[in-house]
Amino acid sequence: MPAVLKVFAWIFLALAAMSLMCTPLAFADGKGDVAVTFVVFSGVLAIPGIALMMAGRKLQRRDHTQQMMVAFVRTRDAFTVEELAVHLGCAPGEAQILLNQDIARYRLPLVVHQASRRYLRLDRLQNPAQIASHCQSCGAAIGQQIVFAGEQLRCSHCGSEVQTHAPAPVEQQWQPPPQAGHWAQAPWSQPGPAPAPAPGNWSQPGHQQPGNWRPPGT
């Protein structure tokens, strides 16, 4: 899409430039009214050309950002918004908005663990966990959140304890929807580093803590 917009933009701008180049020729022939017509026609063509060029560049930047985000998420089991922001080269607030948009739009298997302020991948979890996306008391959306054994999830709106449920297989094995962009270019669930353990299970026999996970408070 960015390439198509740029092609049309260059067509409009080229025609505008050609029209503008004809202006001095019309003045040289003493046809001032024709010269004015060329100037007006050039402006009429330049306005949509500039608009299309700006839209194409904006989409190109968004496309590049999504490629970087996909590469970052696919190589990690857990990450913070701050880590993602550093990778994308933007503010944490902007990274949060971009990630939340893609999670909502494509239903990505990413959940938030509030205790550690990290996003986890549902397809990489091995320890029992519970998830929730809405508060049963006030009905507010709380995002896709996760808790492990011994943890409670409370609504940030009303403070009530949120009822959680075990993630369904369909939530863990992501199927890309139409127009999923770069997220759908490769299978989502594939072998990778050891899944992120539940907080408090760092000393579990036979378990090796992944390098990209830090316990809460560190």
pLDDT digits (tens, 9 = 90+) for 41-82: 888 888 888 888 888 888 778 888 888 888 888 888 889 999
Give the separation between CA 76 and CA 67, rounded to whole angstroms: 15
Confidence of residue 190 (pLDDT cuts 50, 70, 90): low
What is the arrangement of strands in the sheet containing 110-113, beginning at the earlier edge strand? 78-79, 118-121, 110-113, 141-148, 129-134
* Domain extent listing, the chain: 2-64, 75-184
**What pLDDT does 191 receive?**
44
For residue range 131-147, list pLDDT tens digits in order.
888 888 888 888 888 88
Confidence of residue 5 (pLDDT cuts 50, 70, 90): confident
**What residue type is assigned to position 158 of the chain?**
C
Of residues 155 and 173, which shows the higher confidence score? 155
Q: Are 73 and 138 in contact (CB under 8 A)?
A: no
CA distance 193 to 128: 18
- Read off the pTM: 0.61
